[in-house]
Chains A and B, each alone.
Chain A
């Protein structure tokens, strides 16, 4: 009976398939590494917000012979941890700077949702930082907001770690396992002095920044914070006083960084009443048709005055000097050429081009383009086994450059106020979401130009790879039919120039390349 056989085979096959197919999603495993170097002079590096590390002090630790320190060592010796606690140790062993940036990317993705139109009030509500959990939740973590959030996170971690390094080498108290050979740490322990704990510094600085950026997530952030601190005890890599000193230092420096954030102009970045004057000014410069929102109902533009927020690596004059020349005017031959390319895109788009558009879409619900480059940078800190301080420097340089890119790009967008392709020709339909702000220049291209320039400088071996990524990110917006070629090309060049200013900072901060 061949049919009976076939039948059995099929049923058996189905059952096998049903049972064997693994639903779990594999993510890259993150190895724990020993840093490639300790940067012993890191305490002398130039800080970003702090005028100097003298702004904060860390009191001297208890002497090795003191009874209180001996009691701390004894408590490590007595410690037995559960498998669950070991998981926490392993999680944080990957790196505090890496993990807190990862948490920040997750929060960015979780909060990157635009407010829903209020049918009764007939307007889009604005998220309220005083009431962050109510709809619409605060913040709407759009690309400018995210760029700023990552920048402050990176700067706080960096400044706090520079100070931590200074005091580490000033007091030179080694890790518990180096002081007492009967203690075996389950984490890699180097000769880096352990007081104050760099992990506690990163945890405290990150916690304070992210509480300000995501005020509705305080409980979750506190839980991460506790876990991170505990992991250092459970891994027998720090004693309690290492952590307490680190916490105090991290919080003190975060407070100074937050003070800069409170006065950087972000509070005035959503000044919708400035929009009519912006449009008039753009028209006076030759704009024929101003951008209008493609959302239905029309949504006020995203943070129209974000371009006025305080930059990190260049000043107002330099920002204006870098501002790109105007794009091809509507109806000009150059404009028609760009538009014509998009008109044909629907028919000629290859699967590979669609892949590129999708890969770099970084739209609503994602961790945004700054998040995309934040991840790129974080992965390189791991690839090159950077210690916490150097990793924080990488993240701070890339982070500040991304925020600078956001500010300078928004300044450009609202200076020229040009319409998106779909607004000009409804035949140009997109394969990715069209962002709710003017077209010229492409934000993606500017972010990517800046971040790739900084990363290429910090990781010369990756320079070519970074340029390839940035070019792909830039052209992805053309494949997605939401930007003209001139938006992308000019944005990328603008981004490169913005990145150069972060390199200037890097060249003079005492850290070498």
Chain B
């Protein structure tokens, strides 16, 4: 069902990983190199999430007409260091959704293009560690006219989004703590129907309001030049919306909330040509939610980092 928020969350997870790797490199003092500027990193990842229970409003249930829901995506992402304190990023997923119960057809397709700028206005190296403050601004735009109101099979909500996030980062002797809070503004969407029920009202229009979302996360981890491990908690909370009614299908107006816990590990493999590959894996589990599936999800990915100037990256 509202696996979408879940996917979104997963993507945010990937994003955060990506952002932090990239910025960590740029600000890691121990390697003696500021690599931010002209550095590019390309990522390909595969994610798989499954759930067989979901929250219908606040009621957790199973539904044999759905069985086990499986969402998969392949995501391509790139991040580039405009300066050591300013990065630009882009990402685009291809998504497949299906379930093994019921008789609905699967849905798949290219979903939304995301673009981000990330800026680090403050970085302070002190005797008790390094502190950083960062801000990101991003937008996402649907790349095709996929069907948004065939949840949970729809590959997304087809909303255009704009978001801002504030990030706090602290690191000492390879141990880091990162926390962020953000706000995602989601545009109203157009559905094929010109009538729908939401919040007990019938609307005679194609236009549907999609709730805005506040997201937050905290990550605790360790990083050195070869490995990175972290544990995280994430939360996404809709700022408005209605609940899935008893035995109804989910709908884009639903108040989709969730909290998830997970962990991530990454290793770096350095090449003689001065570039390096990273392999990473992430696992997460939704622990609490409302109008979302209780998903278990994993992501595996590979990432290649190099400088566009051809300069070798020396760690």
Contact = CB atoms under 8 A, between A and B. Distances in A.
B103 A365 contact: no
A296 B65 contact: yes
Contacts of B149: 358
A13 to B, nearest CB: 8
A241 B196 CA distance: 39
Interface in B57-113: 64-65, 67, 82-83, 86, 101-106
Interface in A14-64: 14-15, 17-18, 21-28
Nearest to A372: B195
A430 B135 CA distance: 44
B207 interface: yes
A259 to B, nearest CB: 30
B248 A364 contact: yes
B83 A3 contact: yes
A25 B163 contact: no
B183 A3 contact: no
Interface string A466-503: 00000000000000010000000000000000000000
Interface string A415-454: 0000000100010011101100000000000000000000
A431 B200 CA distance: 25
A128 interface: no
Given A14-B137, A18-B183, A364-B247, A294 B200 contact: no
Contacts of A434: 103
B245 A23 contact: no
B119 interface: yes
B205 interface: yes
Contact of A431 (B150, B162, B248): B150
A295 interface: yes
A211 interface: no
Contact of B200 (A25, A110, A359): A110
Given A17-B162, A25-B203, A422-B103, A7 B86 contact: yes
B101 A296 contact: yes
Contact of A6 (B117, B135, B195, B246): B117
Interface in B194-209: 194-197, 200-205, 207-209
B237 interface: no
A363 B119 CA distance: 47
B188 A113 contact: no
B147 interface: yes
B195 A429 contact: no
Given A17-B139, A365-B249, A431-B105, A358 B117 contact: no
A105 interface: yes
B31 to A, nearest CB: 24
Interface in A328-369: 346, 351, 354-355, 358-359, 361, 363-367
A115 interface: yes
A354 B149 CA distance: 12
Contacts of B202: 102, 105-106, 109, 367
Given A295-B65, A364-B247, A7 B164 contact: no
Interface in A99-117: 102, 105-106, 109-110, 113-116
Chain B binding surface, main DSSP class: loop
A26 B82 CA distance: 42
B43 to A, nearest CB: 22
B207 to A, nearest CB: 5
Interface string B128-149: 0000000101110000010101
A512 interface: no
A7 B105 contact: no
Contacts of B183: 18
Interface residues of A, number: 55
Contacts of B103: 294, 422, 426, 429-430, 434
A433 B151 CA distance: 12
A23 B248 contact: no
A3 B201 contact: no
B147 A354 contact: yes
B247 A115 contact: yes
Nearest to B65: A296
B185 A114 contact: no
A3 B247 CA distance: 52
B65 A26 contact: no
Given A14-B137, A365-B197, A367-B202, A25 B208 contact: yes
A102 B205 CA distance: 14
B272 interface: no
B213 interface: no
Contacts of B188: 21-23, 25
Given A14-B163, A18-B185, A23-B209, A365 B248 contact: yes
Contact of A358 (B64, B86, B101, B147): B147
A10 interface: yes
B197 to A, nearest CB: 4
A375 B137 CA distance: 43
A430 B139 CA distance: 33
Contacts of A430: 103-105
Contacts of B209: 23-25
Given A27-B203, A113-B246, A365-B197, A358 B137 contact: no
B105 A481 contact: yes
A180 interface: no
A211 B162 CA distance: 46
Nearest to B61: A116
A102 B197 CA distance: 13
B137 A296 contact: no
Interface in A75-118: 102, 105-106, 109-110, 113-116
A22 B185 CA distance: 10
Nearest to A14: B137
Nearest to B105: A429
A431 to B, nearest CB: 5
10 contacts: A7-B119, A15-B164, A23-B188, A26-B207, A109-B197, A115-B247, A296-B102, A361-B193, A429-B106, A481-B105
Interface of B: 64-65, 67, 82-83, 86, 101-106, 117, 119, 135, 137-139, 145, 147, 149-150, 162-164, 183, 185, 187-188, 191-197, 200-205, 207-209, 212, 240, 245-249, 251
List the 7 shortest-distance A-B pairs measured between CB atoms, nearest first.
Answer: A296-B64, A429-B105, A358-B192, A14-B137, A17-B162, A109-B197, A422-B103
